[in-house]
């Protein structure tokens, strides 16, 4: 009973996550095709709150009122999200800011960097990695799916302390 119920719960949890995807907008749109690939794959794992980031048609005017609305909406989405995935190859102030706020909110974070760009990732991102809550992965474009699968499969569902009977023995061991 325990063994059959728990994997189902875990799968349901994985497919229903709220995912905040970060990618450069005003920092430069050169990598938008990679953002599309990532967003497409992320949908296997839940809903992507920031789908507009990967929209090649995205146009924004940059008015003060508009910017405040974008900022407040995005901070609210960050708060709601279960996990943050950021493509950090193209440097972006907004993405850096989002990551800093997300660290403060103690969110689970995956940063994806492509060394083939010949850029060097900021020390404030590479140096924030702890391999647990803040993960930085070097990857190439053709590895998008594999890298995301590995990351999401490594996530553990939140502990349901009020529902201990549904914890699979394997998970219970992992939580110890
Ligand atoms: O129009 C926008 N909409 C929006 O959601 N953002 C957020 C999401 C992106 O992950 C990030 C991009 O920041 P930047 O524009 O500084 O590159 O900021 C940023 C802008 C423009 O700065």
Average pLDDT over the chain reads 89
For residue 58 and ligand 1, the question of a CB distance below 6 A is answered with: no
pTM of the model: 0.85
What DSSP element (H or E) covers 137?
strand 134-138
Mean pLDDT, residues 149-170? 71
47 labeled binding residue? no
Place 159 in a pLDDT band, splitting at 50, 70 and 90. low
Q: Would you state the pLDDT for residue 1?
A: 42
Mean pLDDT, residues 48-71? 90
Q: Give the rounded percent of residues in the chain with a pLDDT score beyond 70.
A: 80
102 labeled binding residue? no
Q: Would you state the pLDDT for residue 12?
A: 64
Mutate to test the pocket of ligand 1, among 48, 57, 67, 94 (most ligand atoms within 8 A of CB): 94
Give per-residue pLDDT as tens, 5-47.
555 556 666 678 999 999 999 999 999 999 999 999 999 999 9
Which range (36-50, 51-65, 159-173) has the least confidence? 159-173
User: What are 37's two structure tokens?
Assistant: 């690939």
Place 157 in a pLDDT band, splitting at 50, 70 and 90. confident
Higher pLDDT, 57 or 163: 57
Ligand 1 centre to CA of 93 (Å) is: 8
Q: Could you give the ipTM of this predicted complex? A: 0.99
Q: Would you state the pLDDT for residue 69?
A: 95
Q: Would you state the pLDDT for residue 156?
A: 81
Residue 112's closest CA among 133, 92, 140, 132?
Answer: 140
User: What are 27's two structure tokens?
Assistant: 């920092």
DSSP letters spanning 62-100 = --HHHHHHHHHHHHHHHHH-SEEEEE-SS--HHHHHHHH
């Amino acid at each position: 009973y325990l063994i059959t119920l728990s994997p189902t719960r875990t799968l349901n949890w994985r497919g229903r996550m709220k995912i905040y995807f970060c990618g450069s907008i005003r920092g430069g749109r050169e990598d938008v095709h990679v953002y599309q690939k990532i967003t497409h794959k992320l949908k296997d794992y839940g809903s992507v709150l920031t789908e507009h980031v990967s929209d090649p048609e995205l146009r924004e005017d940059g008015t003060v009122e508009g910017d405040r609305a974008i900022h407040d909406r995005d901070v609210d989405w960050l708060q709601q999200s279960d996990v943050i995935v950021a493509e950090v190859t193209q440097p972006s102030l907004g993405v850096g800011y989002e990551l800093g706020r997300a660290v403060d909110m103690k969110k689970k974070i995956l940063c994806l960097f492509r060394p083939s760009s010949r850029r060097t990732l900021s020390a404030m991102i590479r140096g924030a990695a702890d391999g647990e809550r803040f993960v930085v992965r070097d990857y190439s474009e053709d590895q998008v799916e594999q890298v995301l699968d590995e990351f999401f499969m490594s996530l553990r569902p939140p502990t349901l302390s009020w529902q201990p009977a549904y914890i699979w023995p394997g998970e219970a061991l992992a939580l110890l």
